[in-house]
Chain A
Amino acid sequence: MTVAIVGVAESDLGVTGRSILGLQTQGITRALADAGLALADVDGLATAGVARFSATQLAEYLGIEPAWTDSTFAGGSAFEMYVARAVQAIDAGQCTTAVISYGSNQRSARSRKLGGNVDAHTPEAQFEVPYGPLYPISYYAMVAQKYLHAYGAKRDSLAEIAVAAREWALLNPAAFRHGAGPLTVDDVLSADQVASPLGTLDCCLVTDGGGAIVLTSLDRARDLRADPVVVLGYGESTTNSGMGAVDNLLRPGSFDSAARAYRMAGLGPADVDVAEVYDSFTITALLSLEALGFCAPGEGADFVADGRLRPGGALPFNTSGGGLSYNHPGMYGLLLLVEAVRQLRGECGDRQVADPAVALAHGTGGIFSTHATVLLGRDGRGEWG
């Protein structure tokens, strides 16, 4: 693979009082500064969540006329998908410098709805919404219920995901819960139920936030300011829109997206030094551990039991504090990539993992609907270097 990430940045996070385009501009200008590049260098742009014509709107706002854009709308995994498409566009010569960005002011704007947004012409509007599902949590809750039933697991295992995320957030000054103190399993279990078996502390944050990453050819990347982070492989799977379509809830498309990414990279789960995995809900992360091959199906509960995901544990996992305790701006996939790159560059301060060579970012969009896995590596550390 011959494309690298050369710049990353977060926008302001938390409760910002800023506009979507204002947050987008922060993320993009900061990521370009990190790369040592200028807006005039950007000829590729991918984003979502701006407007109906997301990349179009943003390009005009920035005053650029890109040769390549992508606004694939696939929920939180879209940003991992954009990496795949940006690599292809750069390799094909359609553009030279691609920015992938995101910004949301959902907390300041109070734009989140418990029932979600369903188009009246979709099958869900006729066959699911009449029954009063919460979107998306009802689906994740039903997957969690199935998981507990099928594998004889306890809610404690789900709670451990939230506890570990909080431990990491305590080490990350940018985390929304940085100053909130530690969580216990009992805290999570005794929190108000929203959609059983998930309670409020099984759910990700609702915050403003965003950021951007900059990609260019590896050849060019080696002349730029920061150490290049090479895209080693990617894989996707798109499985369902509604809650009734998937036959086996315990085999989400992430099993396929991960296998595809590992195959492309010529790597396996044992090669991953740090994993940034979408944790919209505790079940999302627990089931993804199995899908990504870190443990076998049904073994997730045992796998997390010894604090393996906590700082100092055997698998550095969601080192920013995750969507559960760091930031969740509606779609969190971009920030997974930012943290993965920073870990590989060794820029993470108190939460820095010791000398990682390979990082994994895995996005989940919708209701386990879209799945995208990206493998990243430090330049000069493997066959890719």
Chain B
Amino acid sequence: MMESTDTYEVPPPDEVTGPWWDATRERRLVVQRCADCGHRQHYPRALCTGCGKLSGEFAEVTGRGRVDTFSVVHRAPRGGLEVPYVLARVRLAEGPVLVTNIVGCPPGDVVCDLPVVVDWRPLPDGRALPVFRPDPSARSV
């Protein structure tokens, strides 16, 4: 998809989030999976919120999920964003929730529980933002 005109500069990764952003350079979506308790979490943290241990490994996910909920934004919070657009919480098939945008369909087509699949919005520095579009291979509930 087209590079965004968004004026927001996504902050650089830190020592915890680096591997997650590195994966986006290869268009791979990952979440942390705890080697001790198996808990999956997003965003990446320096500890597991399931068991409190420190072993955050990254595991690739399917990129499929459902819209937990959403809102159509009608007033842009900054320059370079064209309204309306859809802000959403997507619950991945593996469990974690991502805050994201739904793209590839008119905002009016988005509903809660809509099956979606990951897509990528390139950032100027080679990283990419995972966004989601309706998943034609999934049956709607």
Residues of A at the B interface (CB closer than 8 Å) are 113-116, 120-121, 123, 125-135, 138, 141-146, 149-150, 192-198, 242-245, 247, 249
B43 x A141 contact (CB < 8 A)? no
Q: When the two chains form the complex, which single residue of A115, A129, A141 contacts B71, counting CB atoms closer than 8 Å? A: A141
- Known pairs A114-B75, A133-B99, A138-B87; A126 contacts B10 (CB<8 A): yes
B53 at interface, CB cutoff 8 A? no
In the bound complex, do residue A244 and residue B87 qualify as a contact, i.e. CB atoms below 8 Å apart? no
> In the complex, are the beta carbons of B43 and A145 less than 8 A apart?
no
Q: Contacts A120-B11, A123-B43, A125-B11 known; A142 to B87 CB distance under 8 Å?
A: yes
Minimum CB–CB distance for B14 against chain A, Å: 8
Chain A's closest residue to B95 (CB) is A247
Interface contacts (Cβ under 8 Å), in number, total: 110
* Nearest CB of chain A from residue B52's CB, rounded to whole Å: 16
Given A126-B13, A131-B99, A132-B87, verify A196-B69 contact (CB < 8 Å).
no
Q: Can you identify 7 A-B contacts, CB atoms within 8 angstroms?
A: A127-B43, A130-B10, A142-B71, A194-B75, A244-B42, A247-B97, A249-B69
- One digit per residue, 1 when the CB lies within 8 angstroms of any chain A CB and 0 when it does not, for chain B 97-124 equals 1111100000000011100000000000
B77 touches A146 (CB 8 A): no
Select A244's contact among B6, B43, B70, B71, beta carbons within 8 Å. B43
By a CB distance below 8 angstroms, the chain B residues around A114 are 75-77
Picked from A127, A247, A249, the residue with its CB within 8 Å of the CB of B99 is: A127
Nearest chain A CB to B108 CB, angstrom units = 9
* Residue of A whose beta carbon sits closest to that of B49: A245
**B117: shortest Cβ distance to chain A, in Å?**
17
Nearest B residue to A149 via CB reads: B112
B6 and A142 within 8 A (CB) = no
Given A126-B13, A142-B89, do A132 and B101 touch, yes or no (CB 8 Å)? yes
Nearest-neighbor residue (CB-CB) of A199 within chain B: B74
With both chains docked as a complex, state the minimum distance between the C-beta of A354 and any C-beta of chain B, in angstroms: 40
Pair A138/B74 contact, Cβ less than 8 Å: no
